[in-house]
Each structure stands twice: as structure tokens, then as C-alpha cells.
Amino acid sequence: MSSYTAPLQDMQFVIDELCNVSAKLGELPAFAELGVGSELSAALLGESAKLCSGVVAPLRRVGDTQPATCQDGQVTLAPGYADALQQLAQGGWFGIAADPDYGGQGLPEIYGTAACEMWNAADMAFALAPILSIGAATAISAHGTEQQKTAYLEKMHTGEWSGSMNLTESGAGSDLGVMTSRAVPEGDHYRLYGQKIFITWGDHDATDNIIHLVLAKLPDAPAGSRGISLFIVPKFLLNTDGSPGERNDVWPVSVEHKLGIHGSPTCVMAFGEKEGAIGYLLGEENQGLACMFTMMNEARLKIGVQGLGVSEGAYQKALAYARERVQGGVPIIEHADVKRMLLTMKTSIEAMRALAYSEAVTLDRAHHLKDPAEQARIDLMIPVIKGWLTEMGDEITSLGVQVHGGMGFIEETGAAQYFRDARIAPIYEGTNGIQAVDLVSRKLGRDGGASMESLLADVQATIEQCGAGTTDIQAIGTALAAARQDLQASTGAILGQLSDRSEAAQAGAYDYMMQVGYVVGGWHMARSALLAQARRAESDDPFYPRKIRSACYYSEHILPRAQSHGAVVESGSSALLDFDSEWM
């Protein structure tokens, strides 16, 4: 059986002290009556933690060893998954940050982000169900007609119905413009024909209906990605009273056999193999990609949080093993190299959590305040969150295997599952290479680096605060100052490359994304250390000195990685660009 204990003290420290949600969110009109602050945080996190540790975590190995199957157009879930999904729905977690007018809880996104971390730490394959459903509901909320919102959202927000996203086709991959799925107009609806692959939680019987969002092309659509439309295609068509009725012509063909996330029914889905799957246009014709990108900030934030959550699960398992495994007469946690690996895992996770949660606050402020500066910040940071957190998830889960030594390579210990599960996160929702190019070509380039300059100014303010701190705090500030200076130089180099050698900017994009991640992670660790130093004067809780030591380790052992990434960016990547692909 897998075990997981949510790190509630650190989660609440980040939410209530580092992010200061009572001030940054509590005064927004949408949240003014909710009592946003430490009491609400403690209550919500505590309830989610109980569900994840008591119900979801025990299913992690079950889903891995008894995965979802498909036979005769029917998907069978891993044992226990359907019941756990229903308990998640009963707790209101599907609609935690959704509009109360449509069955949602109306809470700030940061609480949904924290819950998402717990789901993924407990069982990443299970967590994909609410993540995909929330994403589909977000798209309908943003682009649906009032009739569509009334028909679908409340049931999706309460978890009675789930949702899926149907984008990818065989041979298309990330190039959605070459898809072949088609939609034929027929009265007030359309009939869809085609096949989609890699459809996460594409079919199951855990909910009464599944609301598929499907990309397809109209008969007279423009060529390429400009000719894609988005459709609502329910598994069961709705009766006049809104209840599920006749089965639509949409069927699972098979369940993919994957490296990890075995419990997730990742399906090949067929639309219209008989009379045509009935679908309803979401948004405007030929604007399907624009509709999809409306939900991308929220969706990519959640995928980054997957990297965080699975890392926390791997860390807890590795830590428990290191404390009980004796070698050389002492538990291996006392061995310097094992301690190095565990501290690398621990402090990186703390930086990842601080970054993800901080930007969840930015996401809410951008949405509710309609502030261009807040929107520019979240747009800039989303590809970093998705890319850096999932790359770190790969490293941290690999370290979890290494801490176990040879036993980590044995499936029965459960360490390898975290590693296998984590590997998908850098790939889907736009590969990390796509995230990196988006960061430099669109987010950095569109405002000439102004939003990055604003971020660097905030980092500088923290550095100056560190200068007045203790010796430890000053050392953290000194390391951060050097990393900030390097990032500023890399930003200038990328902007210069965008103006006259865009291929060089794209070649260095991955390293720039990673450099930003390490530096911003270091900034949040420095901010955490400053807060912890102030709290030490009024509390003898060992959490606070431990937090300072974590920041010290990060600045000494993790943050220097940013410099090497910056050196690649500033090199111009000539060795990469000049290497003929035929020489490979």
C-alpha cells in the first residue's frame, strides 16, 4: 500500500505567509465574503489531505498493477478508482474555483492548485481525471452560450459528469493544423467523424456522462490551424430535461499501453463510425484553437503542479527508506551523498511549490482585476511553471529511485512508479521545447522584455532586503544577486537574437526557460528565508530555522545551475545550429 502525508505546514506557509492571500485575494470583490486566510486554508487543506492520504494514495499501486482496460467499446477502471472519484466529487473539489452560479465553490485558484498537488502526490494517474474535467469546464465557461453553460457546467462542477479534451491525432502530434477529423453541419448541430489518440480519461463509467471537447474541421475551413473549430460532444445526448439520454456515436477503441500513469484510461477515441457523433459548436467557427488557448494558463499551471506533486510523493518514499535502511552501521540518511540527494529533492520541491502557488495568486488577480501587468506576469511565468517544474519532476523522481539503490529498480518498492509516471508531464500539454519557444518568442518578445524587467526588479528588491539580514540571509542574497545578473544578461542576449537571429533564440530557448526557473525558484526561497527569519523572533517552531537552512542549501547547491544555462544562451548556440542534421 502507498502512503502519503500532505506537507500541510509548508503548504500553508506558502499560501498564507509567502503569498499573503488574505491581503492579495481576500479584498477582491469575488472573495471578500469568503474569509480568505489561515483558517480557511487550514480547513480546506486538511480536508483534501484526509481524502488524498486515506482514499487516493492507497490506489496508486492498484492502478499501476491493475490498469484500465478496454473491451468491446467499454472501459473498465482500476479497482477503487470510481469510488474515489465519487468521493472527490462529493467534496466539491471538481468545482473548487468555479463560478458559484454554475455549481462551483467560487474559491481562489490557489486552493485548487494546492489540492491538485495533493492529488498528484497521492496518485498522478487518478489526478488526471479532475484536471481534465476542470479544463473542459473552463473552456465551456469561457466560450459557451448561456444554454451550453446551463446544460453542462453545474454537472461538471459537481463531478456528476466529467470532461475530456480531444486534440491529438495519429500523424498530427503538436501540429494540429494537419488534423483530419471533420464536422458536417446539420441543423442546430454537427456530425463529427474521425479518430483521436492519447485522450486522457477518454472513457469510463465512474460518472453519469462524459463531456468531450473535440477539435475538428468544417467542410469549407481554411487550411492549417486557422481552420479548426471546437465542439461539445457528450457521451450521452441530453434529454429535454437535461438528463443523459441516448448514447452518442463516440466510442473508445482501445486503451494505450504506457510507460506510466497506468491507472489513467488514456484512450483511442472514435467519433462517427456509425451515423456520426452529434456535436455542438463551442465558440465561433474556425476559432477552435483560440478557444482552447483560453484555458491554457490554468491547464499548464496544473501540469506544472503534476511535476511538483509527483516529486513530493517520490521524496516522501525516499526519505522513509533512507531513515530505515541501515548500511555501514547507520541509516543511509547519514551518508553525505544520500543526504545530498534528499536535500536536492526537498529544497527543489519547496522552490517549485512557492513558484506555482505564487502564480496561482497572480492568475486570480489577473482574472478578477483585469490588470494588464498581472496578466503579463502570469503569461510570462506559465511556460516556466509547466516546463521547469516538470523537468525537475523527472530529476527528483529519478533521485528517488537512486536513494533506494538497487531496491529502487525493483517495482515492488514503488519508487520506480513515480519515475515512470512523471515522465509524461514534460511531453503533454505542449512539450517543454514548445513551452521554451513560447517563452522567448511570444512572451518575452512581444513586450521587448518589459514583463521580465518587472520581474527582475522584484527580485532585486528581495536581494536588497537580504543585505540587512543575518549572515545566512546575506549569503542567500549574494547568490541570488549573481544569478539575477546572469539572467538579465541572458535576457538581453535572447532579445538581441530575436531581432536578427531568431533561430539562435529558439536554440537557446530551453536553457533560458530552465535558467528562469532556477532563478525565480531561488527568489522565492530567499523570500521564504526572510519571512522565516522574522518569524523566529516570535516563535520557537523548528519549521522556521529549517526553512532558512533549506534556502541556504538551494542557493549553494541548486541555484548555481542557472549560470550554466545562461552561458549556453549567451553563446548563441552556434555549435548546435552549425551541426548538419545529416551528420547525426
pTM score of the predicted model = 0.96
DSSP assignment of 463-477, as one string? HHHHTTS-HHHHHHH
Q: Does position 309 have pLDDT exceeding 90, yes or no?
A: yes
d(CA 362, CA 24): 9
Q: Does position 173 have pLDDT exceeding 80, yes or no?
A: no
List the Cα angle 160/163/167 in 5-degree steps.
175
pLDDT digits (tens, 9 = 90+) for 544-574: 999 999 999 999 999 999 999 999 999 999 9
- Under a CB-based contact definition with an 8 Å cutoff, are residues 264 and 417 in contact? no
Query: What does the pLDDT read at residue 295?
Result: 76
Query: What does the pLDDT read at residue 108?
Result: 97
The burial class, CB within 10 Å (0-12 / 13-18 / 19+), for 282 is buried
- Phi, psi values for residue 228, rounded to 5°: -105, 135
Lowest mean per-residue pLDDT among 76-85, 107-116, 288-297: 288-297
Residue type, 84: A
Q: Residue 179: pLDDT band by 50, 70, 90 thresholds?
A: confident
Closest CA to 399 of 418, 380, 424: 418
Q: Does position 325 have pLDDT exceeding 60, yes or no?
A: yes
77-86 mean pLDDT: 98
List the alpha helices (DSSP H) in 277-371: 288-294, 296-324, 336-369
Evaluated on CA atoms 381, 386, 392, 396, the torsion sign reads positive
- Rounding to the nearest 10 degrees, give the CA dihedral for residues 18, 23, 27, 30: 0
Closest CA to 249 of 269, 219, 224: 269
Percent of the chain with pLDDT over 70: 99
- Under a CB-based contact definition with an 8 Å cutoff, are residues 336 and 89 in contact? no
DSSP summary character for residue 91: T
Query: What does the pLDDT read at residue 174?
Result: 63
Q: How far is CA 547 from CA 291, 404, 477, 562, in A?
A: 42, 25, 15, 22
Give the H/E segment covering residue 70: strand 69-71
| Arithmetic mean of pLDDT over the chain | 96
453-465 mean pLDDT: 98
- Phi, psi values for residue 197, rounded to 5°: -120, 165
pLDDT digits (tens, 9 = 90+) for 48-77: 999 999 999 999 999 999 999 999 999 999
Query: Bridge-partner residues for 192, per DSSP?
Result: 183, 277
Q: Does position 175 have pLDDT exceeding 80, yes or no?
A: no
> Which residues are the active-site residues?
429
